[in-house]
Amino acid sequence: MRKALIVVPAALMLVIVTGCAKQPATMPASATAPAPSSGSMTGRTQPTAGRSDLGTGAVLGGATTGSAAASATGDRPSPRDFTPNAALNDINFDFDKYDIRPTDAKTLDASAAWLKSNPKSLLLIEGHTDERGTSEYNLALGERRAKAAMSYLVALGIQANRISIVSYGAEQGLCKEHGESCWARNRRDHFLVKSE
């Protein structure tokens, strides 16, 4: 009788612990999925000092990063098919955040106006982070930043099927120095277009 009293709670505890496993930080991207409601990843694993060492990124919204994933795009163009356009400016983010700041909202408003006047152009949004954090953390944060910009543009009337997103995490920083002024430049979304 005493053994049964010990075994039952232990088995119950095992079922509870296994049933409460956390979901992975990255979710599959969907062209119509809204951006997450919170603009911070503070509730998740905190970033640690370190540099990204991944050679490829994640497949998001039909676009890919890295050459290994290039064949997975289907009928969507590869990120290599997109080019910069002077009418579309980068937006930046605060540390460990992915919410759109008021000054960056004005930049996105101008980008939406350009996209409306060029309806045959496709858009690629690249999400970038600074070097702080693990590779996985930075890829997830870059994805959330790209999704936030995409959701903002879709809310302004840009068709979601014209937009692809990709996260490069910390792989393609504009600046390589180790300090806040450099890191602030690297925390960005970059916009590229492809005309059909």
Supply the pLDDT for residue 196. 74
- Please name every residue paired with 194 in a beta bridge, in sequence order, or none if there are none: 122
**Alpha carbon distance 142, 127 (integer Å):** 4
- pLDDT (tens digit, 9 = 90+) per residue, 49-104? 333 333 334 444 443 333 323 333 457 788 999 999 999 999 999 999 999 999 99
Supply the pLDDT for residue 115. 98
Tokens of 23: 């979901």
- pLDDT (tens digit, 9 = 90+) per residue, 103-115? 999 999 999 999 9
pLDDT interval class at 1 (50, 70, 90): low
Supply the pLDDT for residue 77. 85
Angle at 188 between CA 184 and CA 193, to 5 degrees: 150
Q: Is residue 84 a part of any domain in this protein?
A: yes
Supply the pLDDT for residue 96. 95
Q: Is residue 52 a part of any domain in this protein?
A: yes
Q: Is residue 33 a part of any domain in this protein?
A: yes
Q: Is residue 12 a part of any domain in this protein?
A: no
Supply the pLDDT for residue 6. 52
- Please name every residue paired with 84 in a beta bridge, in sequence order, or none if there are none: 192
Mean of the per-residue pLDDT values for the chain?
74
What's the CATH number where 163 sits? 3.30.1330.60
Q: Is residue 14 a part of any domain in this protein?
A: no
Supply the pLDDT for residue 139. 97
Residue 119 clears pLDDT 90, i.e. is over it: yes
Only one residue has tokens 């009293």, namely 5
**Alpha carbon distance 195, 156 (integer Å):** 20
Residue 34 clears pLDDT 60, i.e. is over it: no
Percentage of the chain surpassing pLDDT 70? 62
Residue 192 clears pLDDT 70, i.e. is over it: yes
Range list of H helices, the chain: 2-19, 102-117, 135-155, 180-186
Q: Is residue 1 a part of any domain in this protein?
A: no
Q: Is residue 92 a part of any domain in this protein?
A: yes
**Alpha carbon distance 190, 165 (integer Å):** 10
The number of distinct structural domains making up the chain is 1
165 contacts 62 by C-beta, under 8 angstroms: no
- pLDDT (tens digit, 9 = 90+) per residue, 141-168? 999 999 999 999 999 999 999 999 999 9
Residue 15 clears pLDDT 50, i.e. is over it: no
Could you tell me the residue range of the domain that residue 179 belongs to?
22-195
Residue 183 clears pLDDT 60, i.e. is over it: yes
Q: Is residue 13 a part of any domain in this protein?
A: no
The dihedrals phi and psi of 36, each to the nearest 5 degrees, come to -55, 150
